[in-house]
Amino acid sequence: MIGNLLTQRLLKDPGFSKVRVLVRRPLAYTHPRLEVQVIDFDNANDIQSKLGTGDCIFSCIGTTQKAVQRDEGLYWKIDHDIPVHTATLGKAAGFQTFLLVSSVGANASTTNFYLQLKGIVEKDILAMNYHSTHIFRPSLLLGNRAEKRFGEGFFQNIMRPLAPVMMGSLQKYKPVDAEDVAKAMITAANRQEPGSHIYEYKEIMQLIKPGINATKTQRHKASENNLL
């Protein structure tokens, strides 16, 4: 969901001259600045040959327990190996910025499989020392997915009315529109701030305030950017 919204927004942003998407299935739309690469993510050579060169890599890939039929090894392969291997290849190819969609509560030391997995992904990508690394930790995502996820609609209906009273330490668990995450990722990419940056609900919202968006840099003009 975020990947699709992000692609469409990148194609409207004049700061990005080319958007190369690495996907498992073809997209349903075309654009003069869009280059679609259907990838066999089990094949590192295929990833390397189609990754190309550019400035930014946006990683939005992920799966669910239902999709992998509760196979934790396959879950790890998708949520860890694909972004980490791509980040490794991207660093070698000269990419300067890596932006990752993770999850609120990500923690490499926890015993929860999902949150531990996300924490290890973050840790491994941060260790690569990109010039600029941006990690987004949304809670429940709001929006319309192409695929339906069990219970997501139910929790969206519960969390929406509770969001206004989720303050202090609970604020990071507020549901967030996938569209807002996509906007925040593009703003962060355009800023090109060096170092490592982690965004939870509050920081994501700060990125998309009109006053902040109005001052974003245009350093990516005539650049190429990849979306995973």
DSSP 131: S
pLDDT in tens, 18-48: 999 999 999 999 999 999 999 999 898 999 9
Please give the mean pLDDT across all residues of the chain.
87
All residues at 6 or more sequence positions from 102 whose CB lies less than 8 Å from its CB, including other chains: 118, 121, 122, 135, 136, 137
pLDDT at 211 over 70: no
Q: How far apart are CA 51 and CA 155, in angstroms?
A: 36
Architecture of the domain whose range is 2-227: 3-Layer(aba) Sandwich (3.40)
pLDDT at 217: 39
Mean pLDDT of 64-83: 93
pLDDT at 160 over 80: no
Environment class of 168 (CB within 10 Å of its CB; exposed 0-12, middle 13-18, buried 19+) = exposed
Q: How far apart are CA 127 and CA 149, in angstroms?
A: 32
pLDDT in tens, 131-146: 999 999 999 999 875 5
pLDDT at 151 over 90: no
Domain boundaries, the chain: 2-227
User: Which residues sit opposite 195 in a β-bridge?
Assistant: 132
Compute how many other C-beta atoms are within 10 angstroms of the C-beta atom of residue 61: 20
pLDDT at 169: 72
Could you tell me the pTM of the whole model?
0.85
* SS (HEC) of 69-127: CCCHHHHHHHHHHHHHHHHHHHHHHCCCEEEEECCCCCCCCCCCHHHHHHHHHHHHHHC
Residue 104 to residues 68, 122, 138, Cα–Cα distance (Å) = 21, 12, 5
Residue whose token pair is 């925040």: 184
